Amino acid sequence: MEARGWDVGTVDLAGHGGRSIGTVRSVAALAEDVVAQHPASPTLVVGHSLGAIVALELVAAMPTYAHGLVLEDPPALSARRGTGDIEREVTRARVDPHSAIEAILAGHPQWNRRDARSLLEGRLMTDPQVAALSPSDRIWDLTALVAACPVPAALVATLGRESALLDPDRSELLRLLPPERVTEIPGSHHIHLDEPTKWVDAIDTFGDSLI
C-alpha cells in the first residue's frame, strides 16, 4: 500500500500480536482499545475477519473516526469457530511448529513458507485467554452493523467454501452494498495472503473514491 502512496499503520487487537487480552471481553471493548492505540483519525480502516467487526463497532461509536471501512471476509455470527478450534491451533503452533507449518501449507498450496510462518507467528503470539472466551463475550449482528454504518464501507470477500461470510449474511451484504464496493476473490479466509495484488487493488480503488 505504501507503494500506492498510502501512509499505513497497523494495530494488534487485544489478545493478538503478543498483547494480553487483559480485561477485554467484548467487541465494543476491542474497538475502544484500537482507538486507544491509534487515536488519530485515519482516512480508511481495513479490518480482516474479527477486525472487520471491530471496525464496524468503532465507527458506530465514533462516526467521525474514519472516512471509510474495508471489510475483509467478515465472519457471519453463524461462522464463528468454536473456541476449541482456536485453542487447538494455538497449542499445535507451540508444541509442534514444524507440523503446524506443514498443515498450513497443505491447506493453502498457493502460499510460500514466509506466508505460512506469518500465520504461525500470529498463532504463537495469541493470548490463550482469547480461546477461553465464551460465545456470549463476542456477539454481533453483521448485517445490522453494515446497514447502520455511518461511513462508506466496501467488502472484499472470499469466494469459496473457506469464506467466513456465510448466508444469509452474505446475501444480505451483497444487497446492502453498491456493486462497485464489493470484490469477491477465490481463495481462503486470508485473502491478503492469497491474492495480495487483487487485495491491494480493491482497497486502493475504494480509498481513492473517498479522497
Quick: pLDDT tens for 157-210.
999 888 999 999 999 999 999 999 999 999 889 999 999 999 999 999 999 998
> CA angle, corner 69, sides to 65 and 75, nearest 5?
120
Instruction: Please tell me whether residues 9 and 65 are part of one structural domain.
Output: yes
Instruction: Please tell me whether residues 18 and 111 are part of one structural domain.
Output: no
Instruction: Please tell me whether residues 10 and 76 are part of one structural domain.
Output: yes
CB-based contact 199:191 (threshold 8 Å): yes
pTM for this predicted structure:
0.83
Structural domain span for residue 112: 83-136
> Could you tell me where the beta strands, DSSP code E, fall in the chain?
44-48, 68-72, 153-159, 182-186
pLDDT score recorded for residue 81: 46
Instruction: Please tell me whether residues 76 and 87 are part of one structural domain.
Output: no
Instruction: Please tell me whether residues 30 and 64 are part of one structural domain.
Output: yes
pLDDT score recorded for residue 184: 97
Q: What is the pLDDT of residues 122-149, one digit of tens each?
A: 888 887 776 655 555 667 899 999 999 9
Instruction: Please tell me whether residues 33 and 128 are part of one structural domain.
Output: no
In the sheet where 68-72 sits, what is the strand order? 44-48, 68-72, 153-159, 182-186
Sign of the C-alpha dihedral, residues 173, 175, 179, 185?
positive
Whether the predicted pLDDT of 211 surpasses 60: yes
Instruction: Please tell me whether residues 117 and 183 are part of one structural domain.
Output: no
Instruction: Please tell me whether residues 15 and 74 are part of one structural domain.
Output: yes
CB-based contact 168:79 (threshold 8 Å): no
**Number of structural domains in the chain:** 2
Higher pLDDT, 155 or 86: 155
Instruction: Please tell me whether residues 143 and 204 are part of one structural domain.
Output: yes
Instruction: Please tell me whether residues 7 and 76 are part of one structural domain.
Output: yes
Final residue before a domain boundary, out of 95, 111, 136: 136
Instruction: Please tell me whether residues 107 and 180 are part of one structural domain.
Output: no
**Cell 479490518 belongs to residue:** 47
Residue 131 CA to residue 82 CA, distance in Å, equals 9
Domain at 73, CATH number: 3.40.50.1820
Cell of 39: 487515536
Q: What is the pLDDT of residues 10-21, one digit of tens each?
A: 888 887 778 877
Instruction: Please tell me whether residues 39 and 92 are part of one structural domain.
Output: no
Residue 44 CA to residue 151 CA, distance in Å, equals 10
